[in-house]
Structure 1
Amino acid sequence: MTSGLRNLFDKKNTKAVFLNDVLQIMKILVINYEYPPIGGGAAGASYHIARELVKLGCSVSVITSKFKNLPANEVVEDVKIFRIPVWRKKADRSSVAEMITFMLSGMWYGLRFLKKERPDATLAFFTIPCSHIGLLGKWFQGIPYIISLRGGDVPGTQPEQLAFFHALTRPAVKILWRKAAWVVANSKGLAALAKQTTPELDIKIIPNGVDLEQFSPVLKLNEDRKEVVRILYVGRASAEKNIIEAFKALKMCDAKNWRFDIIGDGPQLPVWKTSAVSFDISDSVNFQGWMQKENLPGLYPKYDLFIFPSTSEGMPNVLLEAMACGLPVIATRIRGNEDIVEHEINGFLYEPGDASKLSSFLSRLLLDNNLRIKMSLAARKRAESFSWKNTAEEYLKIINQSIKQRRRQ
């Protein structure tokens, strides 16, 4: 048994004998149609969890999407990555049609991988388009699979955009969840929403983490920064991100000492640019486009506060990253956000659609430097309670339980 696994299970006083007697190195297959350098928050989560599982002594492989000139096979930080052929145009997002190509390709290449490598367990991010590969592994080889819910794959999220898709896929979702060894949500709100589809299932909650060394505050010595407060948003330019509400709030704001930078790309970007002009704030709004993940740790500390007006989330990584870098946060009071932001301690929460309240909170932070400093310290302290190591350990515990249960059958 590797020292990482021995330390983990000895500390927990559980499963050490089982691993010692049966498994020397646990082989885990991670499935996500997005994995860095492509994709959004879930891609980053799968990367960090895979990396931490390796540190804990596991052998980890990843099946993900081939994109442009990325190699079909490579090893990154001891994680073996296998990219399968798909149709995908953009690095930062994927359409439903493109996800279907991953599902089809995954059936062929996934089965071949499962037969050849015979992992001990599968961890699938997103019910659709990923967990069916885990189900195939269970059907044909008895390999247990765990589903990590991320938000959009749960019926009821983003009803304006996904209602038809969820109505169409709900029967398949129920089957995939019921056949899984575990179904995991990354926030209390997402777990409660999932229970509406399958009330009989026990949905495990394992929150996201943040790399506290990579994302950290820096001492801000530039006195001129006090004159203009820099506001940041990082994320996809999609309808549920609700950035137009932020424009409305900024227009209403008493304070005018701000600059708003938007990092991200997506179908709503042209709409957002037009809206900034219509609100007559375009001179203070800067659209920087999509940014590679490795550039984000150096980006956050350049700003003074983070705004996140999204109407639907699982558990947003960007909030944890911003807070780890000492940014106070103004976010909507929705599932995921509520698990991270402590109202009036490290930021503010407001009801989606209440641009007036958002404007009021913005004014308070823009005009009160001492409040920003106080919330900045509290934000970092709050972020320190989340780590990818803890997240990976929680996943490893249920993976081990799944393997143990399989061997009893």
Structure 2
Amino acid sequence: MNKAKKILHIQLLPLLSGVQRVTLNEINEVNTDYPSKYAYYVVCNGVGPLTNELEKIKIPFFLIPELKRNISPFNDIKSLFKMIRFIKNEEFDIVHTHSSKTGLIGRLAAKISGVKKVVHTVHGFSFPAADNLISKIVFYFMEWFARFFTDELFVLNKTDYELAIKKLKYNKDKVHIIPNGINIDRFRPQQKTHDGFRVVMVGRLWEQKNPMCLVYAAEMLLKKYSDINIDFIGDGDLRDTMQNYLNKNNLSNNIKILGWINDVDKLLPKYDLFVLPSLWEGMPLAILEAQSCGLPAVVSDIPGNSDLIHNNLNGFVFEKNDASDLSSKIEMIYLSVDLKKEMSLKARDIVCDKYSSLIRNDAIIHHYEN
């Protein structure tokens, strides 16, 4: 009997936002499709929803508290040496990293440790969206430097493919477009029984996802329509700021922050519309999950989002960070039952045709094996 191939996924946070759920879904589904062929492990910086789910499915994880999002020479060096020691001890066949700085540390540690195959998934390059020149230069240098320790780079959309080759100077043979995929049997439409119009955003409440843009847009809509309700499924740095704004402006009856919810597949079909106002993305899992449940989507016009959503087909794109434009696009769907129905059907059809997890996982396994 062949020995199971050992695969280490390196994550930063123990959350269950899109980046972590991509890893968790892969582990769950590949282990089901290829029992005993792969032995998965995960590294992150602490315990949380991700590690809770890993415990349920008996996947080992290793904690490195020094892994931080912000640059910290002391913590970064310490996390690098801890990771090298762990990788050498476990003798992994493949190391698969995620996110910018953690991806750099993880790929460097893997190469120093002699891992034969080191791969990285880009969930949206951060340097093009950096808000100042210094940040742009730092993020660019990290991504450029990390290519020397990368055997294969997975990107989610054509824009990031072009950036990897033209800006970061990757060899074309190393870069592969592998879109995110979801379980279309788990995420499926259901009959709606509620009154009014329900809008949902799923994602981490932090700067990248730009949730306040939806709050401002909702505030405009609620001045005209009282039967619109907006839920945020997620948590993060901006939660208190958002809640204070909702309380101060008497919006908390119509706009709710629900926190992280594991069974989001059971909740999504109960909504009428999905919104994602992000400032940058790779290919949001949340959009695919919502569309698979038959929800039209209104999303910011950025790479990743605009690869999935097309005006008047399965939703609308709106001008990035423009709450007024977002408000008007939501209103168009709110006012037209026929438009919402047409977009709903198309949304489901596109996901089933192009973005199932079976397609995605087969592509990943192909590159793991070759």
Alignment TM class, shorter chain as reference: 0.7 to 0.9
Q: What does 1:4-403 correspond to in 2, within 5 Å?
A: 25-35=4-14, 38-54=15-31, 55-56=33-34, 58-65=37-44, 67-68=46-47, 77=57, 80-86=59-65, 95-96=69-70, 101=75, 104-105=78-79, 107-108=81-82, 110-151=83-124, 154-157=126-129, 159-160=130-131, 164-195=134-165, 197-202=167-172, 203-220=175-192, 222=193, 225-226=194-195, 228-253=196-221, 254-276=224-246, 281-288=251-258, 290-292=259-261, 294-384=262-352, 385-401=354-370
SS in 2 for 1:156: helix
Q: CA deviation at 1:200?
A: 4.5
Q: CA deviation at 1:195?
A: 4.2
User: CA–CA distance in 2 between the matches of 1:76 and 1:155?
Assistant: 36
Q: How many residues are aligned here?
A: 362
- Pair 400,342 (structure 1): closer, same or farther in 2 beyond 3 Å: same
User: CA–CA distance in 2 between the matches of 1:363 and 1:24?
Assistant: 56
- Pair 131,214 (structure 1): closer, same or farther in 2 beyond 3 Å: farther
Q: CA deviation at 1:265?
A: 1.9
Per-residue Cα deviation, 1:372-397 (whole angstroms, up to 9, x for no partner): 22222211112212122221221222
Q: CA deviation at 1:336?
A: 0.8
Percent identity, aligned pairs only, is 23
Greater Cα shift, 239-248 or 309-318: 239-248
User: CA–CA distance in 1 between the matches of 2:207 and 2:234?
Assistant: 13
User: CA–CA distance in 2 between the matches of 1:73 and 1:351?
Assistant: 36
Per-residue Cα deviation, 1:323-351 (whole angstroms, up to 9, x for no partner): 11111111111111112112211111112
Per-residue Cα deviation, 1:131-165 (whole angstroms, up to 9, x for no partner): 433333333425220111112x54223x12x7544
Per-residue Cα deviation, 1:34-74 (whole angstroms, up to 9, x for no partner): 35xx2421110111123333333531322322535898997
SS in 2 for 1:311: coil
User: CA–CA distance in 2 between the matches of 1:165 and 1:357?
Assistant: 28
Q: CA deviation at 1:174?
A: 1.6
Contact 1:127 1:176 in 2 (8 A): no
Contact 1:107 1:133 in 2 (8 A): no
- Pair 51,170 (structure 1): closer, same or farther in 2 beyond 3 Å: same
Report the AA paired with residue 390 of structure 1: I
- Pair 134,248 (structure 1): closer, same or farther in 2 beyond 3 Å: closer
Larger Rg: 1
Q: CA deviation at 1:251?
A: 3.7
- Pair 98,41 (structure 1): closer, same or farther in 2 beyond 3 Å: farther
Greater Cα shift, 276-285 or 41-50: 276-285
Q: CA deviation at 1:211?
A: 1.6
- Pair 63,387 (structure 1): closer, same or farther in 2 beyond 3 Å: same
Report the AA paired with residue 355 of structure 2: F
User: CA–CA distance in 1 between the matches of 2:109 and 2:324?
Assistant: 50
- Pair 277,307 (structure 1): closer, same or farther in 2 beyond 3 Å: same
Gaps of 5+ in 1: 2-22, 89-93, 402-409
Q: CA RMSD in A?
A: 3.1
User: CA–CA distance in 2 between the matches of 1:296 and 1:195?
Assistant: 36
- Pair 116,287 (structure 1): closer, same or farther in 2 beyond 3 Å: closer
